[in-house]
C-alpha cells in the first residue's frame, strides 16, 4: 500500500501562516497614545475618576447656568439659613421636586436665626427657567438657569452664609477659580521642570550639579511656610486677577522640582541612545534633540506625574486662602469660601459653611486615582 | 562611619547658606520695612513718633545700610546666636521663638511616630493582601486623610473633642495650667490636647507612607529569595518578618526626608487654626506685619529643623544599611 500525498497546486503564500488576526493587526498598528488609552480603559476606577474630573471641568464652563443664584445675590431675609431639602412626595402624593416654605423666628436666648419649615406650603422648583440675571463669562447678559428657586420662595440646597448668599451657587462659581488654579499652575511648573530638568540632564556636568543642589534646597524647605512668606509679599493693591496669577506662580515655583528630577534622570539615560547620537551627528541642535527626539519618548510619564501634582496645588491654594494670604474676595474660590468657616462657632452653629470641603476632597481623590491610572498606562509597551 | 557623618554635615553648610539667602530675599521683597509701616501707623493714630528710638533701631539693625551688608550682618549675627530683634514684640527674636520652636519639634516628632505606627501595620497588610477588600478599603481611608485639608479636619476634631471629651478649645493645655509650674496634671492636660494636632497632621502623611511602603514591600515580596524561603517551608509570618520586612524597613527610615517637610508644613497651618503656642501663628503674624527678623528667623529655624531631621534619618539609615555607608563612600 502506498500512501497518497496531497500536494496543493496553489503557489505558496508565506504570509498565509503569519497573517495577523484583525485584532492583532489593530494592536500592532496602534499609536502609543492609542495603546495608552486601551490600557487606561481597563483601569475601571481611573476611568470613572477621569469622567468625574471631566464633568467638573465642564461645569466651570457653565457655572452661571448651573448656579440657581448669582454669585453676589444677597438674600438678607435668609442669613445663615440652613440647607433646604428637596422633596418629591407631599402627604403620599407625587408632586415632583419641591421645597417647603419657611418662616422666620429669632431665638432671643442665643440670638440665632431659625427658619422652621412650613409643611403646608408646597413650592415646586422651576427648571430651565429665568432667574437672577448675570453676564455670561462677562460677555453678554442672560438670565437662563438650570434650576431656579420657586416663585415667592427660596432654594438654598446647601444653606446660606453670613450675607445670605447661596452656598451652592458660590461653590459652583468657586470651582472656576479652584480648578483652574491647579491647571495653570501645573502648566507653569511643567514648563519650568522641562526646561530646567532638560538642561541639567542634557548637559550634565556643572549645570547638572547646580540644578541638583537647587532642587535639594527647595525640597528641603517646608512648602507651606515658604508659600506663606511668598504670598505675604504680594502687594495689597494688586487687582484680584493679578493676585490670582501671583498665587499661581508662587505655587508653581516650588512644584517644578519633582518634574525636573524626572526629566533629568530620563534624559541622562536617553541621551546615550544611538538615535540621539545619530541626530547629533546630523547636526541637530540641542533644543531640537531634546524637544523632537527625547521628550516625546517619555511625555506620557510626565503627563501622569503632572496629573498627580495638581491636587497639591489645589490644596495649597485652599490653605493659603483660608489663612487670608491667598485669593481675596470678591474673587471666589473654595479656599476663600472656607475662610468664612475659620472659627469653631461655625462648626457648632452653621456647619453647612463647611460644605466647600466636599468638592475639595472629591477633586483631590479623583485626581489621585486618575493620575495613578495614567501612570500605570503611561508605558503601554511593558 | 564617622567620615560619612562628617561628610554629610559638611554638605549641609552650603545648603543652609543658600536657604539663608533665599529667606533673606523673601523677607526683603515687600516694599518698605517694619519701621516705615510702624511710623505710618503711629502717625495715623495721631501719636508722636519717637524719632530717636526709630533712628537708634534703624542704625542698630542696619536698616539704612545696603541690602548685601544687611544680609551679611544677619548671617554673622545668627552664627553668634543673635537672631535679631522682633520689632513687634519689642524683644530679641530668641526670646520670642524659644519655647515655640521646642513645641513645634515635639509635635513634629510625635506626628512622625504616629504616622509610623499607623502606616507600618497597614502598609504590611496592604502588601501581603494585595487587591483584597482590606487593601482597597485601607488605601481609600488613607486617601481620604490625604485629601481632607488639614485645617478643616483640625477645626472639626477640635469641636468633636470639645463636645465628647470636654477638651478646652485651642491651646496646648487647659487655661489654668498656663504659666503654672510643671506637674503631673499639667502633663496630662498637654497630652489630652496634643493628640488632636498629631492625628490631624499625621493623616496627610500617612497615605503617602502607606503607598510607598506597600510598593516597596511588594517589590521585595516578588524577589526570588522569598520564593526560595517559601519553597523551603518557612512559615509565612517568619518569612515576612525575617527578610523582606527588614529590607523595607530601611526605606521606612529614609522616608523621613519626604515626611518631615510635609509634617512641619502641616504643623504650621494646624497651629494657626488651633491657636497652639507653636511657631505657626507667630510666623503668620510676623509675615503680615513685616517683622522681618522674626519671620526670617522662623523660616531659617524651620529649614534647619528639616535639614537636621533629614540628616538624622540619613545617619540612622547608614547605621542600618551597610550598602549606604560603604557603597556611598566608594563611589564618591
| Cα nearest neighbour of B263 on chain A | A222
Residues A47 and A360: their CA atoms lie apart, in Å, by 19
Residues B191 and B185: their CA atoms lie apart, in Å, by 10
Q: Which B residues 248-307 touch A at CB under 8 Å?
A: 260-262, 264-266, 268-269, 272-273, 283-284, 287-288, 295, 298-299, 302-303, 306-307
User: Is there a contact between A308 and A53 (Cβ–Cβ < 8 Å)?
Assistant: no
pLDDT for A52: 92
How is A193-231 classified by DSSP, letter by letter?
HHHHHHHHHHH-HHHHHHHHHHHHHHHTS-HHHHHHHHH
User: Is there a contact between A121 and A51 (Cβ–Cβ < 8 Å)?
Assistant: no
pLDDT for B252: 75
Over range B106-113, report the average pLDDT: 86
Over range B263-279, report the average pLDDT: 80
Q: Which B residues 145-174 touch A at CB under 8 Å?
A: 146-152, 155-156, 158-159, 162, 169-170
pLDDT for B332: 35
Q: Which SS3 state, helix, strand or coil, does residue B112 take?
A: helix
- Inform me whether the pLDDT recorded for B31 exceeds 70: no
Q: Is some CB atom of chain A closer than 8 A to the CB atom of B310?
A: yes
- pLDDT range class, residue B331, cuts 50, 70, 90: very low
Q: Chain A residues within 8 A (CB-CB) of chain B?
A: 213-214, 216-217, 219-226, 228-230, 232-233, 235, 311, 315, 318-319, 322-323, 325, 338, 341-344, 346-348, 354, 357, 360-361, 364-365, 368-369
Q: Nearest CA to CA, how far is B239 from chain A (Å)?
A: 29
- Are residues B15 and A217, on separate chains, in Cβ contact within 8 Å? yes
Total CB pairs under 8 A between chain A and B: 124
Ramachandran quadrant class, B233 (left: phi over 0; alpha: psi -120 to 50; beta: rest):
left
Q: Which SS3 state, helix, strand or coil, does residue A99 take?
A: strand
- Inform me whether the pLDDT recorded for B63 exceeds 50: yes
The percent of chain B in helix, strand and coil, each rounded to the nearest 5, is 80, 0, 20
Residues A378 and A301: their CA atoms lie apart, in Å, by 5
- Are residues B14 and A213, on separate chains, in Cβ contact within 8 Å? yes
Q: Which three cell numbers stand for residue B319?
A: 547605621
CA quadruple B284, B100, A340, A113: dihedral positive or negative? negative
Beta bridge partners of A114: A105
pLDDT for A54: 92
Over range B286-310, report the average pLDDT: 80
Positions in chain A short of pLDDT 50: none
CB neighbourhood size of A48 (10 A): 14
Highest mean pLDDT among A170-179, B51-60, B145-154, B166-175: A170-179
Residues A352 and A346: their CA atoms lie apart, in Å, by 9
Q: Which fold has domain B93-331?
A: MetI-like fold (1.10.3720)
Q: Which three cell numbers stand for residue A330?
A: 470678591
Close Cβ partners of A250 (under 8 Å, ≥ 6 residues apart)? A227, A230, A231, A234
pTM score, two decimals?
A: 0.80
Q: Which SS3 state, helix, strand or coil, does residue A121 take?
A: strand
Q: What percent of chain B has pLDDT over 70?
A: 89
User: Is there a contact between B254 and B317 (Cβ–Cβ < 8 Å)?
Assistant: yes
Q: Would you kindly state where each structural domain of chain B is located, as residue ranges?
A: 31-82, 93-331
- Are residues A233 and B22, on separate chains, in Cβ contact within 8 Å? no
Regarding predicted confidence, which is higher, B47 or A261?
A: A261
Q: Which three cell numbers stand for residue B266?
A: 502641616
Close Cβ partners of A107 (under 8 Å, ≥ 6 residues apart)? A113, A114
The minimal CB distance from A229 to the residues B159, B262, B287 is found for: B287
Beta bridge partners of B132: none
Regarding predicted confidence, which is higher, A283 or B302?
A: A283
The minimal CB distance from A228 to the residues B22, B144, B287 is found for: B287
- pLDDT range class, residue B305, cuts 50, 70, 90: confident
- Are residues A219 and B261, on separate chains, in Cβ contact within 8 Å? yes
Q: What percent of chain B has pLDDT over 90?
A: 1
Q: Which three cell numbers stand for residue A273?
A: 541612545
The minimal CB distance from A347 to the residues B19, B150, B159 is found for: B159
Which of A45, A46, A228 to mutate to probe the B interface, most B CBs <10 Å?
A228
- Inform me whether the pLDDT recorded for B327 exceeds 70: no
Q: Which SS3 state, helix, strand or coil, does residue A76 take?
A: coil
**pLDDT tens digits, A50-66:** 999 999 999 888 888 88
Residues A365 and A356: their CA atoms lie apart, in Å, by 15
CA quadruple A248, A253, A257, A259: dihedral positive or negative? positive
Within 8 A of B8 by CB-CB distance, chain A residues are none
pLDDT for B329: 43
CA A198, chain centre distance (Å): 26
pLDDT for B328: 47
DSSP structural state of residue A294: I
What kind and span of H or E run contains A107? strand A105-107
Q: Nearest CA to CA, how far is B264 from chain A (Å)?
A: 6
| Cα nearest neighbour of A353 on chain B | B152
ipTM surpasses cut 0.90: no
Cα dihedral A35→A36→A40→A46 (10° resolution): -170
Close Cβ partners of B183 (under 8 Å, ≥ 6 residues apart)? B177
User: Is there a contact between B9 and B307 (Cβ–Cβ < 8 Å)?
Assistant: no
Q: Nearest CA to CA, how far is A134 from chain B (Å)?
A: 32
Burial (0-12, 13-18, 19+ Cβ within 10 Å), A83:
middle
Regarding predicted confidence, which is higher, A207 or B170?
A: A207
What kind and span of H or E run contains A348? helix A344-349
User: Is there a contact between A254 and A192 (Cβ–Cβ < 8 Å)?
Assistant: no
User: Is there a contact between A357 and B150 (Cβ–Cβ < 8 Å)?
Assistant: no
Q: Which three cell numbers stand for residue B167?
A: 477638651
Regarding predicted confidence, which is higher, B98 or B127?
A: B127
Regarding predicted confidence, which is higher, B77 or B110?
A: B110
Q: Nearest CA to CA, how far is A186 from chain B (Å)?
A: 18
| Cα nearest neighbour of B281 on chain A | A323
Close Cβ partners of A303 (under 8 Å, ≥ 6 residues apart)? A374, A378
Regarding predicted confidence, which is higher, B173 or B199?
A: B199
- Inform me whether the pLDDT recorded for B262 exceeds 70: yes
Amino acid at each position: 500500500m502506498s500512501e497518497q500525498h496531497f500536494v496543493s497546486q496553489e503557489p505558496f503564500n508565506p504570509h498565509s501562516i503569519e497573517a495577523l488576526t484583525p485584532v492583532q493587526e489593530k494592536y500592532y498598528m496602534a499609536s502609543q497614545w492609542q495603546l495608552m488609552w486601551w490600557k487606561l480603559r481597563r483601569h475601571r476606577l481611573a476611568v470613572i475618576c477621569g469622567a468625574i474630573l471631566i464633568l467638573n471641568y465642564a461645569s466651570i464652563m457653565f457655572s452661571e447656568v448651573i448656579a440657581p443664584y448669582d454669585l453676589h445675590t444677597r438674600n438678607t431675609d435668609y442669613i445663615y439659613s440652613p440647607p433646604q431639602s428637596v422633596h418629591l412626595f407631599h402627604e403620599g402624593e407625587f408632586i415632583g421636586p419641591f421645597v417647603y416654605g419657611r418662616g422666620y423666628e429669632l431665638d432671643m436666648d442665643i440670638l440665632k436665626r431659625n427658619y422652621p419649615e412650613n409643611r403646608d406650603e408646597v413650592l415646586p422648583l422651576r427648571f430651565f427657567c429665568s432667574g437672577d440675571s448675570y453676564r455670561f463669562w462677562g460677555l453678554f447678559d442672560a438670565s437662563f438657569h438650570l434650576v431656579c428657586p420657586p416663585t415667592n420662595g427660596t432654594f438654598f440646597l446647601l444653606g446660606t452664609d453670613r450675607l445670605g448668599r447661596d452656598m451652592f451657587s458660590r461653590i459652583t462659581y468657586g470651582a472656576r477659580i479652584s480648578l483652574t488654579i491647579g491647571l495653570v499652575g501645573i502648566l507653569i511648573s511643567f514648563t519650568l521642570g522641562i526646561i530646567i530638568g532638560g538642561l541639567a540632564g542634557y548637559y550634565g556636568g556643572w549645570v547638572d550639579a547646580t540644578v541638583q543642589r537647587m532642587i535639594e534646597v527647595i525640597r528641603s524647605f517646608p512648602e507651606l511656610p515658604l508659600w506663606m512668606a511668598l504670598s505675604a509679599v504680594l502687594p495689597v493693591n494688586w487687582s484680584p486677577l493679578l493676585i490670582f496669577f501671583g498665587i499661581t506662580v508662587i505655587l508653581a515655583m516650588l512644584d517644578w522640582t519633582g518634574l525636573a528630577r524626572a526629566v533629568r534622570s530620563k534624559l541622562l539615560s536617553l541621551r546615550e541612545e544611538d538615535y540621539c547620537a545619530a541626530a547629533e551627528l546630523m547636526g541637530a541642535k540641542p533644543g531640537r534633540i531634546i524637544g523632537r527626539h527625547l521628550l516625546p519618548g517619555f511625555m506620557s510619564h510626565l503627563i501622569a506625574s503632572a496629573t498627580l501634582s495638581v491636587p497639591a496645588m489645589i490644596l495649597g491654594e485652599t490653605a493659603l486662602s483660608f489663612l487670608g494670604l491667598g485669593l481675596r474676595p470678591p474673587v471666589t474660590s473654595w479656599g476663600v469660601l472656607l475662610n468664612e468657616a475659620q472659627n469653631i462657632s461655625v462648626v457648632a452653629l452653621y456647619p453647612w459653611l463647611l460644605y466647600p470641603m466636599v468638592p475639595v476632597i472629591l477633586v483631590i481623590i479623583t485626581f489621585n486615582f486618575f493620575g495613578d491610572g495614567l501612570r500605570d498606562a503611561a508605558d503601554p509597551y511593558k | 562611619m564617622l567620615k560619612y557623618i562628617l561628610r554629610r554635615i559638611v554638605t549641609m553648610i552650603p545648603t543652609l547658606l543658600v536657604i539663608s539667602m533665599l529667606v533673606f530675599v523673601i523677607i526683603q521683597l515687600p516694599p518698605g520695612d517694619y519701621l516705615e509701616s510702624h511710623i505710618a501707623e503711629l502717625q495715623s493714630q495721631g501719636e508722636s513718633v519717637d524719632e530717636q528710638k526709630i533712628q537708634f533701631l534703624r542704625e542698630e539693625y542696619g536698616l539704612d545700610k545696603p541690602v548685601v551688608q544687611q544680609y551679611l550682618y544677619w548671617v554673622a549675627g545668627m552664627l553668634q546666636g543673635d537672631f535679631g530683634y522682633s520689632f513687634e514684640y519689642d524683644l530679641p527674636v530668641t526670646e520670642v521663638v524659644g519655647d515655640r520652636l521646642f513645641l513645634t519639634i515635639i509635635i513634629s516628632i510625635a506626628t512622625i511616630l504616629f504616622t509610623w505606627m499607623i502606616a507600618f501595620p497597614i502598609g504590611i497588610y496592604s502588601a501581603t493582601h494585595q487587591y483584597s477588600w482590606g487593601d482597597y478599603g485601607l488605601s481609600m481611608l488613607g486617601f481620604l486623610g490625604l485629601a481632607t485639608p488639614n485645617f478643616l479636619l483640625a477645626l472639626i476634631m477640635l469641636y468633636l473633642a470639645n463636645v465628647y471629651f470636654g477638651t478646652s478649645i485651642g491651646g496646648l493645655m487647659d487655661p489654668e495650667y498656663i504659666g503654672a509650674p510643671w506637674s503631673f496634671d499639667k502633663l496630662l492636660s498637654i497630652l489630652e490636647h496634643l493628640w488632636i494636632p498629631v492625628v490631624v497632621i499625621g493623616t496627610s502623611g500617612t497615605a503617602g507612607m502607606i503607598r510607598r511602603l506597600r510598593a516597596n514591600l511588594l517589590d521585595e515580596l516578588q524577589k526570588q529569595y522569598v520564593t526560595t524561603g517559601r519553597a523551603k517551608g518557612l512559615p509565612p509570618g517568619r518569612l515576612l518578618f525575617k527578610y523582606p520586612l527588614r529590607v523595607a524597613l530601611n526605606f521606612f527610615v529614609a522616608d523621613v526626608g519626604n515626611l518631615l517637610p510635609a509634617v512641619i508644613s502641616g504643623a504650621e497651618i494646624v497651629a494657626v487654626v488651633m491657636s497652639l503656642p507653636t511657631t505657626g501663628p507667630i510666623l503668620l503674624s510676623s509675615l503680615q506685619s513685616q517683622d522681618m527678623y522674626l519671620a526670617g528667623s522662623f523660616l531659617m529655624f524651620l529649614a534647619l529643623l528639616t535639614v537636621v531631621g533629614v540628616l538624622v534619618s540619613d545617619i540612622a539609615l547608614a547605621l542600618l544599611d551597610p550598602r549606604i555607608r560603604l557603597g556611598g563612600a566608594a563611589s564618591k
